[in-house]
Amino acid sequence: MTARDLDVVAALEPELFGAGAWSRSTYEDQIERTDRVYLVAELDGEVAGYAGVALEPEWDIMTVGVAPQARRRGVATALVEALVDAARSAGGRELFLEVRAHDGGAQQLYRNAGFAPVGLRRRYYQPEGADAVVMRLALDPTDAGPVGPVGAEAVDDGSVEGDGSAVGPFVDVATAYAWVWSEHAPVVLDVRWALGRTDGREQYAQGHLPGAVFVDLDTELAGPASPEAGRHPLPDLDVLQAAARRWGVRGDSRVLVYDDAGGTSAARAWWLLRWAGVRDVVLLDGGLRAWVEAGHHLEDGHVRPRPGDVTLTSGAMPTVAADDIAVLPERGGVLLDARAAERFRGEVEPVDPRPGHIPGATSAPTLANLTAGGWLLEAEELRERFAALGVDVPAAGAPEPGSRPVAVYCGSGVTASHTVAVLASLGVTAALYPGSFSQWSSDPTRPVATGL
């Protein structure tokens, strides 16, 4: 950057940064300093953007600004890369920056350059008092340990020591927050979905957990619908693997899934990934609401992570087919119907061919696992609930599950996954009927019962 560029920069600065804009005189002082590097980018002979990095001792990206007419042309990426090169050439070992906590687009820019979030500075940007995410890039390839800068909010990484077994299936918001800001942050999946709604992606873009990737339940967590297979049949394993790699899942990843429906749709991602051999998958108890009510910030926009390398294998979670479901109750097993009670009784049926339920099933609505606010009931309440439904629930701390086999279905295998997860938290292994009532009721040879 030279003095002749300052008129353009001074005009762009308040347009881009509002109350936080630097004055022309501040830039004049900055570009004269030997411990600063300031650059301008030009397109067609015009200033298209500018950026600055502080060298030793701060090693901090100071600013990156792109003229509105030059956006989406790679200017910001080129500027960030040039600043990183300048810091590396000057002998820096690590580089930091702060970015507004809600600004998903800016955070994505820096993620693409290799930066990772390491902390949060509350009310960093003044006068609006906005929070800032602190991000770090190791410039020395031998430096593998990201350590938050002085002033960043410290968090415990929530690690669980022991034999390396998977945690879960549910985790509270305090633990999830610690994980998100830990050295080894989990892959975070946003699975917003509800029957009859198609705006999950739009809701996600307006605000999601930091770094969360949107997952489309209809296209990524299910195969093509058909009367023979049901509304949400299991996807082909290679399709699911390709999706998981798009989400950034690696072989050693911890995966945190959430939704805005008490976990009843996110549980589909939990179950599928567990079924496909990913051991460390957990559901955020209370979902998005718990995160917001705890006072944690949301990031906007869309996250595009670096592709993962996970290899999936099917069969790690039990399933049951229609023919086995038909005889399970008469053989002493427990068949739970996770749909709303009125659908079980056959009083209403909004989507499937016939109203009612599979003969021998017991009504066990998924929403009864939750409080009115969308949090899990206490474990003892859940034990009492499922014991009353005929499930052999082991006492707290008991090493062995009950002997009666348990299977769960719903309309299409989505909300039933939540009940499978709840039962797993109580020490009960339950099989999922993936085709569920949408498959069963489409077959005219299968009997359907109504009432209780």
Residue ranges of alpha helices (H) inside 190-321 are: 200-206, 217-220, 237-246, 266-275, 287-293
In whole angstroms, what is the distance from residue 176 CA to residue 284 CA?
7
Question: Tokens at residue 263, please?
Answer: 């976990």
Residue 94 backbone class (left: φ over 0; alpha: ψ -120 to 50; beta: rest): beta
Residue (of 376, 420, 131) closest to 271 by Cα position: 420
Angle at alpha carbon of residue 5, lines to 2 and 6, rounded to 5°: 95
Assess whether 438 carries a catalytic annotation. no
In whole angstroms, what is the distance from residue 100 CA to residue 123 CA?
10
Assign 347 to helix, strand or coil: coil
Q: Cβ atoms within 10 A of the Cβ of 346, count?
A: 15
Residue for token pair 């696992």: 369
Question: Tokens at residue 247, please?
Answer: 């989400």
Task: Judge whether 9 and 50 are in contact, CB under 8 Å.
Answer: yes
Query: Which residues are registered as beta bridge partners of 37?
Result: 53
Assign 53 to helix, strand or coil: strand
Return phi, psi of residue 372, to 5°.
-60, -25
In whole angstroms, what is the distance from residue 395 CA to residue 170 CA?
19
In whole angstroms, what is the distance from residue 366 CA to residue 359 CA?
19
Catalytic residue among 410, 424, 430, 432: 410
Residue (of 313, 337, 299) closest to 451 by Cα position: 337
Residue for token pair 């869309």: 302
415-425 vs 266-275: helix crossing angle, rounded to 10: 70
Task: Judge whether 9 and 29 are in contact, CB under 8 Å.
Answer: no
DSSP state of 432: E
- Please list the active-site residues: 410
